[in-house]
Amino acid sequence: MTSSDFDSLIRSYGKWLSDNTTYTQLDEWYEVNVPLLDEDNDYTQFYVKPGKNSVTFSDDCATSRRLESHGMTVTESRLAVLKDILNQFGIERNGDELTLTSDTADFADAKNRFLQAIIKVGDMSMLANPMCRRFCR
Protein backbone atom coordinates (compact mmCIF):
# COMPACT_ATOMS: atom_id res chain seq x y z
CA MET A 1 0.00 0.00 0.00
CA THR A 2 1.38 3.37 -0.94
CA SER A 3 1.34 6.43 1.24
CA SER A 4 -1.25 7.90 -1.12
CA ASP A 5 -3.49 4.83 -0.71
CA PHE A 6 -3.21 5.08 3.07
CA ASP A 7 -3.97 8.81 2.92
CA SER A 8 -7.13 7.89 1.01
CA LEU A 9 -8.14 5.52 3.82
CA ILE A 10 -7.61 8.23 6.43
CA ARG A 11 -9.70 10.69 4.43
CA SER A 12 -12.47 8.11 3.96
CA TYR A 13 -13.06 8.10 7.74
CA GLY A 14 -13.57 11.87 7.75
CA LYS A 15 -16.03 11.55 4.85
CA TRP A 16 -17.93 8.73 6.57
CA LEU A 17 -18.15 10.76 9.79
CA SER A 18 -19.33 13.84 7.91
CA ASP A 19 -21.83 11.89 5.78
CA ASN A 20 -23.34 10.26 8.87
CA THR A 21 -23.54 13.35 11.07
CA THR A 22 -26.91 15.07 11.12
CA TYR A 23 -28.08 18.28 12.71
CA THR A 24 -31.32 20.14 13.25
CA GLN A 25 -31.65 23.81 14.16
CA LEU A 26 -33.65 24.47 17.32
CA ASP A 27 -33.85 28.26 17.75
CA GLU A 28 -30.32 29.35 18.84
CA TRP A 29 -29.13 25.77 19.33
CA TYR A 30 -28.36 22.94 16.91
CA GLU A 31 -29.06 19.32 17.84
CA VAL A 32 -26.22 17.20 16.46
CA ASN A 33 -26.15 13.41 16.07
CA VAL A 34 -22.87 11.67 15.27
CA PRO A 35 -22.39 7.98 14.39
CA LEU A 36 -20.34 7.25 17.51
CA LEU A 37 -22.27 4.87 19.72
CA ASP A 38 -23.03 5.63 23.36
CA GLU A 39 -23.50 3.06 26.13
CA ASP A 40 -27.08 2.41 24.94
CA ASN A 41 -25.83 1.68 21.40
CA ASP A 42 -27.42 4.91 20.10
CA TYR A 43 -25.75 7.63 18.09
CA THR A 44 -24.18 10.25 20.34
CA GLN A 45 -26.28 13.41 20.53
CA PHE A 46 -25.31 16.85 21.78
CA TYR A 47 -26.22 20.50 21.26
CA VAL A 48 -24.23 23.41 19.83
CA LYS A 49 -24.92 27.12 20.19
CA PRO A 50 -22.81 29.26 17.86
CA GLY A 51 -21.99 32.78 19.00
CA LYS A 52 -20.22 35.65 17.29
CA ASN A 53 -16.71 34.41 18.10
CA SER A 54 -17.45 31.39 20.28
CA VAL A 55 -19.37 28.15 20.28
CA THR A 56 -20.97 26.38 23.24
CA PHE A 57 -21.53 22.63 23.46
CA SER A 58 -24.04 21.00 25.84
CA ASP A 59 -25.21 17.48 26.50
CA ASP A 60 -28.49 18.84 27.96
CA CYS A 61 -28.00 16.57 31.02
CA ALA A 62 -28.43 13.44 28.84
CA THR A 63 -25.17 11.83 29.96
CA SER A 64 -26.11 12.01 33.64
CA ARG A 65 -29.63 10.76 32.90
CA ARG A 66 -28.26 7.73 31.03
CA LEU A 67 -25.92 6.93 33.91
CA GLU A 68 -28.83 7.11 36.34
CA SER A 69 -30.93 4.87 34.06
CA HIS A 70 -28.13 2.29 34.24
CA GLY A 71 -28.34 2.39 38.03
CA MET A 72 -25.22 4.41 38.71
CA THR A 73 -25.33 6.68 41.72
CA VAL A 74 -22.70 9.36 42.20
CA THR A 75 -20.55 8.53 45.18
CA GLU A 76 -17.54 10.53 46.34
CA SER A 77 -15.11 8.22 44.53
CA ARG A 78 -17.19 8.22 41.33
CA LEU A 79 -17.42 12.01 41.47
CA ALA A 80 -13.62 12.11 41.62
CA VAL A 81 -13.43 9.94 38.47
CA LEU A 82 -16.00 12.17 36.75
CA LYS A 83 -14.06 15.33 37.62
CA ASP A 84 -10.82 13.78 36.33
CA ILE A 85 -12.46 12.94 32.99
CA LEU A 86 -13.97 16.40 32.62
CA ASN A 87 -10.68 18.10 33.52
CA GLN A 88 -8.84 15.96 30.96
CA PHE A 89 -11.02 17.40 28.18
CA GLY A 90 -11.68 20.90 29.58
CA ILE A 91 -15.39 20.27 30.17
CA GLU A 92 -17.49 22.14 32.75
CA ARG A 93 -20.17 20.50 34.89
CA ASN A 94 -23.15 22.71 35.74
CA GLY A 95 -25.40 20.51 37.87
CA ASP A 96 -25.99 17.50 35.61
CA GLU A 97 -25.22 19.38 32.39
CA LEU A 98 -21.85 19.01 30.67
CA THR A 99 -20.72 22.07 28.70
CA LEU A 100 -17.76 23.43 26.81
CA THR A 101 -17.32 26.92 25.39
CA SER A 102 -14.58 27.51 22.85
CA ASP A 103 -13.48 29.97 20.19
CA THR A 104 -15.24 29.37 16.88
CA ALA A 105 -11.83 28.92 15.24
CA ASP A 106 -11.25 25.88 17.50
CA PHE A 107 -14.63 24.26 16.72
CA ALA A 108 -13.25 20.96 15.37
CA ASP A 109 -10.93 20.39 18.33
CA ALA A 110 -13.62 21.44 20.82
CA LYS A 111 -16.19 19.15 19.21
CA ASN A 112 -13.75 16.26 19.35
CA ARG A 113 -12.91 16.88 23.03
CA PHE A 114 -16.60 17.24 23.93
CA LEU A 115 -17.49 13.99 22.17
CA GLN A 116 -14.63 12.12 23.79
CA ALA A 117 -15.65 13.41 27.20
CA ILE A 118 -19.33 12.49 26.99
CA ILE A 119 -18.50 9.03 25.63
CA LYS A 120 -15.90 8.45 28.35
CA VAL A 121 -18.27 9.70 31.07
CA GLY A 122 -20.97 7.44 29.63
CA ASP A 123 -18.58 4.50 30.01
CA MET A 124 -18.82 5.09 33.75
CA SER A 125 -22.09 3.11 33.52
CA MET A 126 -19.80 0.11 34.01
CA LEU A 127 -19.43 1.35 37.61
CA ALA A 128 -23.15 0.91 38.30
CA ASN A 129 -23.63 -1.47 41.20
CA PRO A 130 -24.92 -4.52 39.26
CA MET A 131 -22.21 -4.12 36.60
CA CYS A 132 -19.48 -3.45 39.14
CA ARG A 133 -20.42 -6.57 41.14
CA ARG A 134 -20.28 -8.59 37.94
CA PHE A 135 -16.77 -7.42 37.06
CA CYS A 136 -15.29 -6.76 40.49
CA ARG A 137 -15.54 -10.28 41.93
- CA-nearest of 68, 66, 33 to 47 is 33
Closest CA to 57 of 118, 16, 15: 118
What pTM was computed for the model? Answer: 0.89
Q: Which CATH number fits domain 22-127: 3.30.1460, 2.60.120, 1.10.150, 2.40.360?
A: 3.30.1460
Q: Determine the pLDDT at residue 71.
A: 84
Q: Give the C-alpha distances (Å, rounded to integers) separating 95 from 9, 26, 59, 108, 136.
A: 41, 22, 12, 26, 29
56-106 per-position pLDDT tens digit: 999 999 999 998 888 888 888 889 999 999 999 999 999 999 999 999 999
Predicted confidence (pLDDT) per residue in 8-37, tens digit:
999 999 999 999 999 999 999 999 999 999
Kindly list the domain boundaries of the chain, sorted by start residue. 22-127
Contact by Cβ (8 Å): 23, 32: yes
Question: Given a cut of 80, is residue 137 above it in pLDDT?
Answer: no
